[in-house]
Amino acid sequence: MNNTETLPKAKDGITRQKIKRSKIEMKNASKEAVAAYLFLMPNFLGFLVFTSLPVVFSFLLGFVQWDLLSAPIWVGFENYIQLFKDPYFWKYSWNTLFMMLGIPIGMMGSLLLALAMNQKIKGIVFFRTVYFLPTICSGVAIFVLWRFIYNPDFGLFNMVIGKFGDVVGLPLVGPNWLTDEKWAKPALIIMGIWQTVGGHNMILYLAGLQGIPKDLYEAASIDGANGWQRFWNITWPHLSPTTFFIGVMSLIGGFQSGFDAAYVMTGGGPNGSTTTIMYYIFNNAFQWTNMGYAAAISWVLFAIIFIFTMFYWKSGERSVHYM
Amino acid sequence: MSKIQTFEESKKKKQREENIRKAISYVVLGLGAISMIAPFLWMLTTSLKEPGMVFESLKTHWWKDWIPTTFIWENYVKAWEVVPFARFYMNSVFIALCTTFGQVFTSAMSGYAFSRLYFPGRTQLFLGYLATMMVPQAVTIIPVFILLRKLGWVDTYKAVILPGMFTAYGTFMLRQFFMSLPRDLEDAAKIDGCNYFGIFWKIILPLSKPALATLTTFTFMGSWMSFMWPLIVLTSKEKLTLPVGLAYFQSLYSTDWTLLMAGSMMVLLPVLLVFIFCQRYFVEGIKLSGIKG
């Protein structure tokens, strides 16, 4: 669509330059340009002030030390060198990566749900609504709720574990989810999966499934392929563009995530075990007013996202099948 | 004869297979649905319990104690009195409406310029827009905060609204959609002497309702749920948005569970109702964005 639409325009532009232009044509072209600039103006100005210039400014900030009270001091690469030696930065980067384990697990869950829903069964609208509920709810209310669910003594989660133990005949006791350094990260991952599994990704998978031609399955059945073979040879390759799209978006989002839930549920603790890079940037900038250092971290985060996305993109090019 | 039999058999086998598949699907979906709803039910019942009952409930019984013996509606009254939820609601609605209107309108205008009008520097500018889409929010929040501080805008509504209004994403999404619209109508309007704004207003916008609705939904939801930015720029209690207000509420009553659940319930309920009635539009919007964006 893109190409066919822009091509005649470009050609038009060339002929405009080559042929001797009549005055009226000149006037029309400049009128069009003026109109275009007027249409662009509001968005462009806002974009300039709140996105483009801040990006430039943020880059410069990375080279200064500034507490907003005294004048900024130029320190060159000092922030970046300090960052490289900062054990907390490495710890929080590890936390961020660890919590991103929830992404592939959640994607598998979304695909499983989409497969289950992509059939002629009753109550689809009901199921779709129910699964979408956690996505639609404002995060903070969910986080408050889950802080209660994870309460070790009278929360829902440990109650279920305890009752399960009763049934099996084992004295199972759930952990102190949010206050135990070992369990806080898994707790946030589980909650994240619950929150997103039936949301956007599942609907994208469902749309992808509905786009696969039915006769392919019929042909495979006649050839004697079983359900598993049909999934691996038809469904999965056809869904690869969807998987790739979800993967890229989740990867980019994943590196920047973790602040809201940790802020409300654990305050980044216990002992910094749920602090992510984003949380560290927030603390540096808005709790300790290390503006320069925070800006430097944000650029390193950008670099990390860029590298991982490029890497994923390159590997995706080989594995995605566009039908 | 035998051929017909095998055909019948295979048909039966196929039917059986499908029934099994359906049964498995129901089990998977049903179990999943329970785990989706249970936390919300738990929230509802807790919000109606006496504070002391929360600590008792799980030691002895199983399902029985989910439902409180007497419904304590005072939890809601108390939560409503302790926290200015009505005020938070108004703040959130106002901020989300302004952000959404500004975003959709300016994005539509710039999307129209990028898709339909020729001007020098168009390609370069558009590439510039696309490039910044990759920059994470973390990079811009610090300088934008410093800028707002210099302007003396910290702790104002506009500090929340304006930075959320201008995004490359909206421009990009609408430009892609406008590209797919046929040009004939426009040409006809041009011959009739319609100017560019007329074309934009009377032809492009009415033809783009699905895309505009999608962008509206996404922007509204994004603004409604956004937590970090309002938390950074808003400080006085009466200006807080709903999520920040709820977090503040939690910090005050961190173990008063019945009160907290009542407060969270009040935050969620209107959203849940809106969603249950409009869920079709959300779903369509997601599909659209997944294909176009």
Q: Which DSSP string do the residues of A72-131 spell out, in sequence order?
A: -EE-TTHHHHHHHH-HHHHHHHHHHHHHTTHHHHHHHHHHHHHHHHSSS-TTHHHHHHHH
Q: Which residue of A has its CA nearest to B118?
A: A33
Is A3 a member of any domain? no
The alpha carbon of residue B38 is apart from the nearest alpha carbon of chain A, in Å, by 9
Q: What percent of chain B has pLDDT over 90?
A: 24
Say if residue B104 is in the same domain as residue B245: yes
The residue range of the domain holding A47 is 17-61
Residue A36 forms part of a structural domain: yes
Residue A77 placed within a domain:
no
| Mean confidence (pLDDT) of chain A | 85
Note whether residue A11 is domain-resident: no
**Chain A residue whose CA is closest to B176:** A2
CA distance B200 to B238: 40
Could you tell me the sign of the dihedral formed by the alpha carbons of A193, A305, B220, A142, in that order?
A: positive
Is A5's pLDDT higher than 50? no
Q: Residue B107 is nearest to which of A43, A194, A207, comparing CB atoms?
A: A43
Angle at CA of residue A132, ends A177 and B272, nearest 5°:
95
CB-based contact B243:B225 (threshold 8 Å):
yes
CB A167 within 8 A of CB A179: no
Residues B32, B162, single domain; the answer is no
Q: Answer for the pair A193, A105: CB distance below 8 angstroms, yes or no.
A: yes
Indicate if the pLDDT at residue B9 is higher than 90: no
Asked if residue B117 and residue B49 are part of one domain, the reply reads: no
Domain containing A288 — which CATH number? 1.10.3720.10
Is it the case that residue A125 has pLDDT exceeding 50? yes
Are the beta carbons of A197 and A113 closer than 8 angstroms? yes
Mean pLDDT of B141-163: 92
Contact A82, A299 (CB under 8 A): no
> At residue A226, what is the residue type?
N
Residue A152 has a pLDDT of 84
- Does residue B10 sit in the same domain as residue B105? no
Please check whether residue B88 lies inside any domain of the structure.
yes
Question: Is A264 in CB contact (< 8 Å) with chain B?
Answer: yes
To the question of pTM greater than 0.90 for the whole model, the response is: no
* Same domain as A221, residue A150: yes
| More reliable by pLDDT, B273 or A278 | A278
What's the domain range around B94?
83-252
Side chain identity at A77, as an amino acid letter?
Answer: F
A245 contacts B290 by C-beta, under 8 angstroms: yes
Q: Is the pLDDT of residue A212 over 80?
A: yes
The A residues from 304 to 323 touching B (CB cutoff 8 Å) are: 305-306, 309
Same domain flag for A204 and A296? yes
> For residue B228, which of B167, B105, B140, B103 has the smallest C-alpha distance?
B140
- Closest by CA to A294, choosing from A94, A99, A96, A80, is A80
Q: Please tell me whether residues A29 and A125 are part of one structural domain.
A: no
Instruction: Indicate the burial class of B175 (C-beta count within 10 angstroms; 0-12, 13-18, 19 or more).
Output: buried
Write out pLDDT tens, residues A88-111: 999 999 999 999 999 999 999 999
Whether B208 is in a domain gets the answer yes
Strands A73-74 and A64-65, how do they pair? antiparallel
* Structure confidence at residue A138 (pLDDT): 72
What pLDDT score does A2 carry? 41
- pLDDT of A265 higher than 80: yes
Are residue B68 and residue B89 in the same domain, yes or no? no
Q: Mark whether A122 and A250 lie in a shared domain.
A: yes
**B241 confidence band (pLDDT: 50, 70, 90):** very high
Query: Helix axis angle, A184-196 relative to A124-136, nearest 10°?
Result: 130
pLDDT at A62 over 90: yes
How near does any CA of chain A get to the CA of B133, in Å? 10
Q: What are the b/e assignments for A296-319, b being 16+ CB within 10 Å?
A: bbbbbbbebbeebbeeeeeebeee
Q: Which residues of B touch A42 (CB under 8 A)?
A: 105-106, 109-110
Q: Interior CA angle at A304 toward A303 and A307, to 5°? A: 85
Count the domains in chain B. 2
pLDDT at A21 > cutoff 60: no
User: In the numeric block, which tokens belong to residue A183?
Assistant: 């369990």
Which residues from B are below 8 Å from A286, CB to CB? 145, 232
Lowest-confidence region among A21-35, A80-94, A100-114, B74-88: A21-35
pLDDT of residue A322: 65
User: Quick one: average pLDDT of A295-306?
Assistant: 94
Percent of chain A at pLDDT exceeding 90: 40
Final residue of a structural domain among A61, A76, A95: A61
CA triplet B213, B99, B146: central angle to 5 degrees? 145
Token pair 């973790």 is at which residue?
A: A258
The backbone region for A174, taken as left when phi is positive above 0, alpha when psi lies in -120 to 50, beta otherwise, is beta
Q: Report the gap between the CA of A57 and the closest CA in chain B (Å).
A: 6
| Contact assignment for A295 to B142 by CB distance below 8 Å | yes
What tens digit of pLDDT does each residue of B16-29 get? 878 888 888 888 89
Complex ipTM: 0.84
Looking at the 3D structure of chain A, how many domains does it have? 2
CATH of the domain at B92: 1.10.3720.10
Amino acid at A287: Q
State the pLDDT at residue B292.
Answer: 41
Nearest CA in chain A to B230: A260
A with B: how many residue pairs have Cβ under 8 Å apart?
283
- Give the pLDDT mean for B8-15: 78
Q: How far apart (Å, rounded) are the C-alpha atoms in residues B122 and B115?
A: 10
Clarify whether residues A37 and A98 are in a common domain. Answer: no
Within-domain flag for A71: no
The answer to whether residue A75 is domain-embedded is no
In whole angstroms, give the CA distance from residue B61 to residue B80: 31
Contact B42/A at CB under 8 A: yes
